[in-house]
Amino acid sequence: MENAKRISVYIVENYKLVRKSLTHVIEKSLDFEILGCFETAEEFSKVFNTRKSDIVIMDMRTGETNGLMAAKYVKEISPETKVVILSSHKNDDEVIAALALGANAYCLKDIETPSLFKVLKEVYKGALRVQPNVAGAANNFDAKSDMSNNLNHLYTKISDDYNLTQIEQQIIKYIVDGKTDFEISKLMNISQHTAKVYVKNVLTKLSVNDRVQASLKAAKAKIIQ
């Protein structure tokens, strides 16, 4: 690809060793150009706002903003940018939620370099990729065929709306966007204490313990779009 456009890549990876390893192997390829490497999604977003890339390789654990929220953010401001999630976990909910929020691929961190390069090239061309046997969610589609971002074939809609009120539905959207209780209070013109109570009620209704789990469940149940 010396005379062709090199595929531009950002790396957002929480672990320094993995981040350096990814950078090393990708830099050696003439097919790709690394625009930057970041430990957290917060650091990455400041740069991405000013310079977009073809692909973002995103860790599931990226500081205060998790990989799901970061993937959603990338697709909102740059729909043409492809997001490749790298995770240490084989978790159905994470796979489905990541894809539902806009990720174009979901792979484990132990993926071999040739396979990673293949994924990057294929998602750049528009394919949707999930590493074979990464989770039960991958069993319902053929990983060898190109696919659109329409995920209706991956899972059915969960009809139960968990009895969320209109305000609580707005709260869950703010949770997925990574808003703090303080930020939610300002956006909704309520006290921080009231915002905290709303968030607690949402977590209780969804039967989850924290905001990350709430984001996963909301995406899987298609509470958020």
Mean pLDDT of all residues in 184-201: 90
Give the tens place of pLDDT for each residue, 4-39.
789 999 999 988 888 899 999 999 899 999 999 999
Give the tens place of pLDDT for each residue, 103-146.
899 988 888 899 999 999 999 999 888 877 564 554 443 433 43
Enter the tokens of residue 37.
């490497």
Question: Cβ contacts of residue 79 below 8 Å, gap of 6+?
Answer: none
DSSP state of 220: H
Cα 121 to Cα 118: distance, rounded to the nearest angstrom: 5
Give the CATH number of the domain where residue 11 resides: 3.40.50.2300
Give the CATH number of the domain where residue 190 resides: 1.10.10.10
Give the tens place of pLDDT for each residue, 35-78.
999 998 889 998 999 999 999 999 887 766 677 888 888 998 99
| Residues 109 and 175 placed together within one structural domain of the fold | no
| Residues 136 and 193 placed together within one structural domain of the fold | no
Mean pLDDT of all residues in 166-187: 86
Q: What pTM does this model have?
A: 0.65
Residue 148 lies in a domain: no
Q: Which of 213, 174, 202, 205 is nearest to 93 (CA)?
A: 213
Q: Are 45 and 33 in contact (CB under 8 A)?
A: no
| Residues 99 and 35 placed together within one structural domain of the fold | yes
Residue 216 clears pLDDT 80, i.e. is over it: no
Amino acid type, 225: Q
| Residues 119 and 194 placed together within one structural domain of the fold | no
Enter the tokens of residue 220.
């899987």
Question: 203 lies in which domain range?
Answer: 166-220
Mean pLDDT of all residues in 197-220: 82
How many domains, in total, are found in the chain?
2
Q: Which of 171, 180, 176 is nearest to 75 (CA)?
A: 176
Give the pLDDT of residue 220.
Answer: 67
| Residues 22 and 116 placed together within one structural domain of the fold | yes
| Residues 61 and 98 placed together within one structural domain of the fold | yes
